[in-house]
Amino acid sequence: MPMYIDYSTEAALSTIVTDDFVKSVKRNIGFDPETPTDLLPVDLEELLHECLHICEKEQWRFLLSKSVTLTLPYEAFSNVDGLFFLPFGRVTSITTFSYIKNDLTTGTISSSDYTLYPAEPSKIWASDWAELFADINDEQPYPVTVTYTTGYASYAAIPKSTIRALKILAYHLFEYRDAISEGSVSELPQGYCHLRDLDLLNDHRAVRYIVDDWTKVSRG
Amino acid sequence: MNNYNRRSRPNLRHVCEFWTPSTVVTASGELTQEFSLHYRGPFAMEIPRSPNEINDASRAQSEQVFYLLGQWCAPASQITAGMFCVIPHLQKVYAVSGPATDQWGDSRKLKINIIDNVAQPITIQLIPTLI
Please compute the mean of the pLDDT values over residues B46-71 and round it to a whole number.
Answer: 78
Give the minimum alpha-carbon distance from A18 to chain B in angstroms, rounded to a whole number: 21
Assess contact for B70 and B104: CB atoms under 8 A. Answer: no
The pLDDT of residue A219: 46
Measured distance CA(A209)–CA(A86) in Å, rounded: 9
Domain with B86 in it: 14-50+62-130
- The values of phi and psi at residue B6, to 5°, are -60, -30
The pLDDT of residue A220: 43
Residue B110 has pLDDT above 70, yes or no: yes
- Which residues in chain B have Cβ-Cβ distances shorter than 8 Å to A35? 40-41, 73
Residue A7, helix vs strand vs coil: helix
The pLDDT of residue A119: 86
Q: How far is CA B73 from the centre of its chain?
A: 16
Return the residue of B nearest to A175 by Cα: B108
The 3-class secondary structure across A66-100, one letter per residue, is: EEEEEEECHHHHCCCCCEEECCECCEEEEEEEEEE
ipTM for the whole predicted complex goes beyond 0.85: no
Quick one: which of A161, A157, A7, A162 has its CA closest to A90?
A157
The pLDDT of residue A78: 87
Measured between CB atoms, does A32 come within 8 Å of chain B?
A: yes
Return the residue of B nearest to A176 by Cα: B108
Using CB atoms, which residue from A35, A41, A178 is nearest to B41? A35
The pLDDT of residue B9: 78
- Residue A41 and residue B73: Cβ atoms within 8 Å? yes
The pLDDT of residue B64: 84
Return the residue of A nearest to B15 by Cα: A32
Tally of CA atoms within 13 A in the half-sphere of A101 that contains its CB: 9
Q: How far is CA A80 from the centre of its chain?
A: 27
Please compute the mean of the pLDDT values over residues B40-53 and round it to a whole number.
Answer: 85
Residue A52 gets which letter from DSSP? Answer: H
Assess contact for A135 and A102: CB atoms under 8 A. Answer: yes
Q: How far is CA A65 from the centre of its chain?
A: 8
The more confidently predicted of residues B97 and B51 is B97
Q: Report yes or no on B105 lying in a domain.
A: yes
Residue B54 has pLDDT above 80, yes or no: no
- The values of phi and psi at residue B77, to 5°, are -75, -10
In chain A (220 residues long), the average pLDDT of successive 10-residue segments reads: 81 92 93 91 92 89 92 88 90 93 92 90 90 89 92 91 93 82 65 85 78 57
Question: Residues of B near A (CB-CB distance < 8 A)?
Answer: 13, 15, 40-42, 70-75, 106-107
- Residue A41 and residue B107: Cβ atoms within 8 Å? yes
Residue B59 has pLDDT above 90, yes or no: no
Q: Report yes or no on B38 lying in a domain.
A: yes
**Which of A23, A26, A32 to mutate against chain B (most B CBs within 10 Å)?**
A32
- Which residues in chain B have Cβ-Cβ distances shorter than 8 Å to A29? 71
What length is written for chain B?
Answer: 131
Domain count, chain B: 1
Residues 6+ apart with CB under 8 A from B76: B18, B39, B41, B70, B100, B110
Quick one: which of B75, B70, B74 has its CA closest to B109?
B70
Residue B3 has pLDDT above 60, yes or no: no
Assess contact for B44 and B69: CB atoms under 8 A. Answer: yes
The more confidently predicted of residues A179 and B17 is B17
- The widest CA-to-CA distance across chain A, in whole angstroms, is 65
Mean pLDDT of the residues in chain B: 85
CB pairs < 8 Å spanning A and B: 27
Give the minimum alpha-carbon distance from B47 to chain A in angstroms, rounded to a whole number: 21
Give the minimum alpha-carbon distance from B40 to chain A in angstroms, rounded to a whole number: 7
- Residue A41 and residue B106: Cβ atoms within 8 Å? no
Residue B110: strand pairing partners: B70
The pLDDT of residue A60: 86
- Residue B73 and residue A34: Cβ atoms within 8 Å? no
Using CB atoms, which residue from B41, B42, B72 is nearest to A41? B72
Residues 6+ apart with CB under 8 A from A37: A22, A26, A44, A45
Q: What is the pTM of this model?
A: 0.82
Measured between CB atoms, does A40 come within 8 Å of chain B?
A: yes
Using CB atoms, which residue from A30, A34, A178 is nearest to B71? A30
Please compute the mean of the pLDDT values over residues B26-51 and round it to a whole number.
Answer: 88
* pLDDT confidence bin for B2, thresholds 50/70/90: low
Q: How far apart are the first and last CA of chain A?
A: 26
The pLDDT of residue B106: 85
Q: Report yes or no on B102 lying in a domain.
A: yes
Q: Report yes or no on B23 lying in a domain.
A: yes
Q: Report yes or no on B79 lying in a domain.
A: yes
Q: Report yes or no on B1 lying in a domain.
A: no
Q: How far is CA A171 from CA A26, A42, B2, B23, B49, in A?
A: 9, 12, 29, 41, 32
Q: Report yes or no on B4 lying in a domain.
A: no
Return the residue of B nearest to A30 by Cα: B71
The pLDDT of residue B36: 92
Q: Report yes or no on B57 lying in a domain.
A: no
CATH number, domain with residue B40:
2.40.10.270
Measured distance CA(A61)–CA(A54) in Å, rounded: 11
The pLDDT of residue A182: 56
